Amino acid sequence: MTRQVTGQPQASAAGFWEEACTGLSGLPGGRGLNIAYEAVDRHTTGPFASRVALRCLAESGAPHEMTYRELAERSSRFASALASLGIGRGERVFVLTGRIPELYIAVLGGLKLGAVVCTLFAAFGPEPIAQRLRLGDGRVLVTTPELYDRKVAASRAELPDLRQVLLTGDPTECLQRPETGSLTTALDEAAAEFQIAPTSTEDPALLHFTSGTTGTPKGAVHVHGAVVGHVATARLVLDLRAEDVYWCTADPGWVTGTSYGIVAPLVIGATSIVDAAEFDVHRWYRTIEEQRVTVWYTAPTAIRRLMRAGDQAAEAYDLSSLRAVASVGEPLNPEAVVWGQRVLHRTIRDNWWQTETGAIAIANYGDAPVRPGSMGRPVPGMTAAVLVRGEDGRAHRDKGHVTVEQRPNTVGELALRTPWPSMFRGYLHDDKRYADCFADGWYVTGDLARIDDDGYFWFVGRADDVIKTAGHLIGPFEVESVLMEHPAVAEAGVIGRPDPLVGEVVKAFVALKPGYTPDEVLRRDLLAHARKRLGATVAPKEIAFQQDLPKTRSGKIVRRLLKARELGLPEGDVSTLEQQ
Ligand code: AMP
């Protein structure tokens, strides 16, 4: 028997989503549904037109504000510019910038054209960027001159399908880079009017790469209809309203930063704070105080960093504007909830979702009491369950069937009943990997969880080897591949080593080729090599030399065992290993 838990007593899941749709307009004349129209253009004829949509904080200097009307106009110009470049519906437009206004203009403009928009994390190194542009068949890239020079220019020749790179800022920057064009000039010269493409709820809109245990990153495709999920959950879980000053600290290079950093707040009509700077304890508290932030959506690593700075750091600021605080991306430890109650005078509400779900699926929401350490319960419209393997011990996805025997409080794989509006509709160019995620009408998430007697979900860990560091999902294979490019490396196995601050730290075990000495100089060289290629977020922070990496008889490195040995945990079944 499967223990299924639905969000709340309700007429039907479909009823919840249907009601959520009523807050949306649809394209004029019944021409379809487009996220960008819901987010900006429909506001331009009403009272929200002159409302501030984005208040962008530069690293220093005065904030730059953009109203809904301005954002609608600038994004229409970008859509016109894309059309004159010959970009068609369904083609991929990539954005690689920091958190600056151009990012929002490019995302919304791309959506208006009916293109599929992919945002990339600016802290990625050249390798993850080139790989994603290649896998996603990027046609246009919007980036900054600085990021272009450091991270794209060298691989440009390997990206023949990338037709145009548009650089933000001063147009003269392009003179030194004749293979690029100027976004500023393109926007100035493009038509300010653009008729939004008549996209349907099922047309692809956003592409987000996420990491698996093996192989290349997976491009999760999301459709325009996902906006229903973004908005309904932002209202319900984040308690987001039009009058709010809202701060989502996630970078739009990751899914939280688009679903809840771009789409949901704009559709709802709130004012978003967009901070270009990196984390800093005092800057963050000051931002809440000065901007009078009312709803704050952030992540456990950031909360733990604030906790480390001590209560006094917080007490120096007036944080009383905060009405709702929510957290996502990694487990939120119970102490963080208690700290929030004591120091912020708010209960930080943990919620769970992932790139593939497109929107929050499990959450502490409404008046339900929060159990510190639990990620809450399924939102209305979602049914979640914990699936365990059949008695024969085979994976529950064998032959496409979910074989489950579920007792209360048993750990199993978290699964969601399909479908729901923001569910991903595919992995780009990889139908098999997509199909493998489903069994018997369930989407199986790859997370391990348990449900308590009252229906609260508790995160236990990942069922696979992917690593979560500071809220960012890292595929070990991607890291191993780059380490193997180094002439000294024969083999590499990468794991996440638990860490009290960032959740997990990327740690690599490396076997060397003959003739290389495992010393400090080589270790530093390897760390620098990985950092240069992958960027600081993805690169390993620690490297250990180990000649006898545990392997299966077919020669695959067993990361599970590397981790168990690192942590001094039981090694489990080692019968299929080549050597112990
Ligand atoms: P991503 O697809 O990059 O958003 O990462 C999704 C993964 O982050 C999930 O599959 C979980 O492993 C983890 N995650 C997200 N939210 C939570 C949470 N509230 N508690 C624990 N893990 C989480």
How far apart are the C-alpha atoms of 436 and 187, rounded to whole Å?
43
450 in contact with ligand 1, CB cutoff 6 A: no
496 in contact with ligand 1, CB cutoff 6 A: no
Measured by CA distance, the residue closest to atom 6 of ligand 1 is 354
User: In which band, very low, low, confident or very high, does the pLDDT at 578 lie, cut at 50, 70 and 90?
Assistant: confident
Residue 150 has pLDDT above 50, yes or no: yes
The ligand 1 atom at the shortest distance from the C-alpha of residue 473 is 3
How far apart are the C-alpha atoms of 548 and 577, rounded to whole Å?
12
Q: Is the Cα torsion angle 148, 151, 152, 153 positive or negative in sign?
A: positive
Under 8 Å between Cβ of 350 and 337: yes
Cα 352 to ligand 1 centre (Å): 6
- Give how far the C-alpha of residue 177 lies from the chain's centroid of Cα atoms, to the nearest Å: 31
* 394 vs 315, higher pLDDT: 315
**pLDDT per residue as tens digits for the range 3-19:** 566 655 445 677 889 88
Residue 405 has pLDDT above 80, yes or no: no
Residue 215 contacts by C-beta under 8 Å, 6 or more apart in sequence? 433, 477
Measured by CA distance, the residue closest to atom 7 of ligand 1 is 354
Angle (CA) 186 187 193, round 5°: 120
442 in contact with ligand 1, CB cutoff 6 A: no
Residue 329's closest CA among 357, 309, 306? Answer: 357
How far apart are the C-alpha atoms of 366 and 212, rounded to whole Å?
33
CATH numbers and ranges of domains, the chain: 34-198 (3.40.50.12780), 465-567 (3.30.300.30)
pLDDT value of residue 134: 98
**pLDDT per residue as tens digits for the range 494-527:** 999 999 999 999 999 999 999 999 999 999 999 9
User: Whole-model pTM?
Assistant: 0.94
Query: Rounded mean pLDDT of 229-250?
Result: 97
DSSP per residue, 117-173 = EEE--TT--HHHHHHHHHHTTEEEEEE-HHHIIIIIGGGGGG-TT--EEEE-S-GGG
| Residue 75 φ then ψ, to 5° | -70, -30
C-alpha R_g of the chain: 24
Residue 99 has pLDDT above 70, yes or no: yes
Residue 244 corresponds to which tokens in the numbers above? 């709010």
Residue 13 corresponds to which tokens in the numbers above? 């899941």
250 in contact with ligand 1, CB cutoff 6 A: no
Torsion of CA 187, 188, 191, 194, to 10 degrees: 30
Residue 387 has pLDDT above 90, yes or no: no
pLDDT value of residue 3: 55
* 51 vs 23, higher pLDDT: 51
Task: Give me the percent of the chain exceeding a pLDDT of 90.
Answer: 86
How far apart are the C-alpha atoms of 504 and 496, rounded to whole Å?
5
Under 8 Å between Cβ of 410 and 458: no
Query: Rounded mean pLDDT of 268-294?
Result: 98
Query: Rounded mean pLDDT of 100-119?
Result: 98
pLDDT value of residue 406: 54
Under 8 Å between Cβ of 192 and 77: yes
127 in contact with ligand 1, CB cutoff 6 A: no
375 in contact with ligand 1, CB cutoff 6 A: yes
468 in contact with ligand 1, CB cutoff 6 A: yes
415 in contact with ligand 1, CB cutoff 6 A: no
pLDDT value of residue 360: 98
Cα 329 to ligand 1 centre (Å): 4
Could you tell which of 330, 374, 538 is best to mutate to test the pocket of ligand 1, judged by most ligand atoms within 8 Å of the CB? 330
447 in contact with ligand 1, CB cutoff 6 A: yes
331 in contact with ligand 1, CB cutoff 6 A: yes
333 in contact with ligand 1, CB cutoff 6 A: no
236 in contact with ligand 1, CB cutoff 6 A: no
Residue 504 contacts by C-beta under 8 Å, 6 or more apart in sequence? 467, 468, 469, 496, 497, 498
How far apart are the C-alpha atoms of 347 and 338, rounded to whole Å?
8
Cα 254 to ligand 1 centre (Å): 12
Could you tell which of 132, 354, 416 is best to mutate to test the pocket of ligand 1, judged by most ligand atoms within 8 Å of the CB? 354
491 in contact with ligand 1, CB cutoff 6 A: no
User: In which band, very low, low, confident or very high, does the pLDDT at 23 lie, cut at 50, 70 and 90?
Assistant: confident
Q: What is the mean pLDDT of the chain?
A: 93
* Helix or strand (DSSP H, E) at 378: strand 377-378
* Helix or strand (DSSP H, E) at 221: strand 218-223
258 in contact with ligand 1, CB cutoff 6 A: no
Measured by CA distance, the residue closest to atom 19 of ligand 1 is 352
328 in contact with ligand 1, CB cutoff 6 A: yes
Measured by CA distance, the residue closest to atom 1 of ligand 1 is 354
The ligand 1 atom at the shortest distance from the C-alpha of residue 472 is 3
pLDDT value of residue 407: 59
Q: Is the Cα torsion angle 148, 153, 157, 159 positive or negative in sign?
A: negative
459 in contact with ligand 1, CB cutoff 6 A: yes
255 in contact with ligand 1, CB cutoff 6 A: yes
By residue count, the chain amounts to: 580
Angle (CA) 198 202 205, round 5°: 75
pLDDT value of residue 410: 83
